[in-house]
């Protein structure tokens, strides 16, 4: 049994990890109220005092448009604080598993990004997350930086829930059809991260997402098809395609193609990450039909 500190435990991924790991480990789950990364020194001291075996940092300013306008604050939370937490983890002999993002990439590569592809963010959010990755790795090469993409799960609604809920109200779903990535189910991320808790696992950059590539339109259509087959959603029209350029409310630029391969974690797991369609089917049936 390991002692695991989870930062960002009120978020979509952090809450899922805190719940999943509590079965086999001693989990110390800190949300923003308890451990605000806006005060890196305080949080680093809390980590030293807790003296865990593992720290998972799932806390971040994740609103891409807010980061673009709140530059100083987002740099503090997404870059400076992870560096301070990484040093504190090293001081007490703990491994930090720091969650990062596909948005560190430019999105201009036409094939999936590998762990050693060079980041080139197109938004301030991506810049701050990349700076956070470097701060963590500079502190200790044994730490792990885990890039995830398009996170979905039961602890906080994401795009796929909004699409389903719109369809359930009988309204037409519209979704972007010219932006590609790989959805990541929080349950699958949590299962994969367990191999990184093994002290023998090498540090460095890992990609963890479900396999395959899709657009938001494909993602919504798949979730709706599963819900229709399960009788959760009445048959209705397919979602309507939008172009990224049609979304005028966006402040920050979005990278267009950020699907990722997960070679390093798959080698440690000894299996591939499961396809995003299977993960979506599992999620929709579990959350919306009350079980398989
Ligand atoms: N969501 C995605 O599609 C996606 C894609 C790629 C990478 N990621 C990465 O995955 C990780 C987890 O994101 P998520 O999907 O779980 O998003 P989330 O639900 O927004 O979780 C982030 C958590 O961080 C907390 N937080 C924000 N500012 C904080 C601060 N100053 N101090 C402490 N906590 C703070 C938030 O608190 P509140 O609950 O108070 O807001 C929230 O609970 C992040 O590192 C994110 O960059 C997410």
Residue 291 is predicted with a pLDDT of 45
Which one of 60, 72, 105 would you pick to mutate in the ligand 1 pocket, going by the greatest count of ligand atoms within 8 A of its CB? 60
* Domains of the chain and CATH, by start: 3-214+248-288 (3.40.50.720)
Name the catalytic one among 21, 103, 113, 125. 125
Ligand 1 contacts CB of residue 151 (under 6 A): yes
Distance 65 CA to ligand 1 centre (A): 14
Q: Is 90 exceeded by the pLDDT of residue 169?
A: yes
Element spanning 99, H or E: strand 95-101
The percentage of residues in the chain with a pLDDT greater than 70, rounded to a whole number, is 99
Query: For 31-66, what is each residue's pLDDT tens digit?
Result: 999 999 999 999 999 999 999 999 999 999 999 999
Active site residue 125: yes
Task: Give the pLDDT band (50/70/90) at residue 247.
Answer: confident
Which one of 5, 11, 73, 147 would you pick to mutate in the ligand 1 pocket, going by the greatest count of ligand atoms within 8 A of its CB? 11
Q: Beta strand pairing status for 214-215 and 180-181?
A: antiparallel
Which one of 6, 9, 13 would you pick to mutate in the ligand 1 pocket, going by the greatest count of ligand atoms within 8 A of its CB? 13
pLDDT, the chain, mean: 96
Q: Is 50 exceeded by the pLDDT of residue 108?
A: yes
Q: Which atom of ligand 1 is nearest to the CA of 10?
A: 43
Contacts 24+ apart (CB under 8 A), 245-250: 246/176, 247/176, 249/65, 250/64, 250/65
Ligand 1 contacts CB of residue 277 (under 6 A): no
Query: For 183-239, what is each residue's pLDDT tens digit?
Result: 999 999 999 999 999 999 999 999 999 999 999 999 999 999 999 999 999 999 999
Task: Give the pLDDT band (50/70/90) at residue 249.
Answer: confident
The mean pLDDT of 79-99, rounded to a whole number, is 98
Residue 213 is predicted with a pLDDT of 97
Q: How far apart are CA 85 and CA 46, in angstroms?
A: 9
Ligand 1 contacts CB of residue 233 (under 6 A): no
At 7 the three-state DSSP class reads strand
Counting Cβ atoms within 10 Å, is residue 167 exposed (0-12), middle (13-18) or buried (19+)? buried
Q: Which two tokens stand for residue 199?
A: 């002290």
Q: Which of 215, 222, 209, 194 is nearest to 282 (CA)?
A: 222
Q: Is 50 exceeded by the pLDDT of residue 292?
A: no
Q: Which of 25, 81, 23, 22 is nearest to 57 (CA)?
A: 81
Phi, psi of 50 (to 5 degrees): -70, -25
Query: For 126-157, what is each residue's pLDDT tens digit?
Result: 999 999 999 999 999 999 999 999 999 999 99
pTM given for the model: 0.97
CA 228 to chain centre: 27
Q: With contact defined as beta carbons under 8 Å apart, do 37 and 7 qualify?
A: yes
Ligand 1 contacts CB of residue 52 (under 6 A): no
Q: How many CB atoms lie within 10 A of CB 265?
A: 23
Q: How far apart are CA 153 and CA 119, in angstroms?
A: 26
Distance 174 CA to ligand 1 centre (A): 25
Element spanning 136, H or E: helix 124-139
Ligand 1 contacts CB of residue 40 (under 6 A): no
Which residues, in sequence order, are bridge partners of residue 242? 176
Residue 290 is predicted with a pLDDT of 64
The position carrying tokens 């991506």 is: 126
Q: How far apart are CA 58 and CA 63, in angstroms?
A: 14
Cβ partners under 8 Å of residue 240, min gap 6:
172, 173, 174, 175
């Amino acid at each position: 049994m390991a002692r695991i500190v989870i930062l960002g435990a009120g978020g979509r991924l952090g809450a899922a990890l805190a719940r999943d790991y509590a079965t086999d480990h001693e989990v110390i789950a800190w949300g923003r109220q308890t451990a605000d990364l806006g005060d890196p020194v305080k949080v680093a001291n809390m980590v030293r005092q807790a003296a865990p075996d593992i720290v998972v940092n799932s806390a971040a300013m994740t609103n891409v448009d807010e980061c673009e306008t709140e530059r100083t604050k987002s740099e503090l939370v997404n870059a400076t604080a992870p560096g301070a937490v990484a040093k504190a983890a090293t001081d007490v002999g703990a491994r930090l598993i720091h969650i990062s993002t596909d948005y560190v990439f430019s999105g201009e590569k036409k094939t999936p990004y590998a762990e050693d592809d060079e980041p080139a963010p197109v938004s301030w959010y991506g810049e701050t997350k990349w700076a956070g990755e470097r701060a963590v790795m500079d502190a200790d090469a044994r730490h792990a930086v885990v890039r995830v993409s398009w996170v979905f799960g039961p602890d906080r609604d994401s795009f796929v829930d909004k699409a389903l809920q719109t369809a359930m109200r009988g309204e037409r779903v519209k979704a972007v059809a010219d932006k590609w990535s790989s959805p990541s189910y929080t349950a699958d991320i949590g299962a994969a991260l367990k191999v990184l808790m093994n002290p023998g696992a090498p540090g460095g950059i890992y990609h963890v997402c479900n396999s395959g590539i899709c657009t938001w339109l494909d993602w919504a259509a798949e979730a709706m098809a599963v819900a229709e087959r399960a009788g959760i959603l009445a048959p209705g029209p397919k979602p309507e395609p939008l172009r990224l350029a049609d979304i005028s409310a966006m402040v920050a630029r979005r990278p267009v193609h950020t699907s990722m391969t997960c070679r390093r974690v798959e080698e440690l797991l000894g299996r591939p990450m499961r396809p995003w369609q299977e993960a979506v089917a599992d999620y929709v049936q579990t959350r919306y039909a009350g079980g398989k």
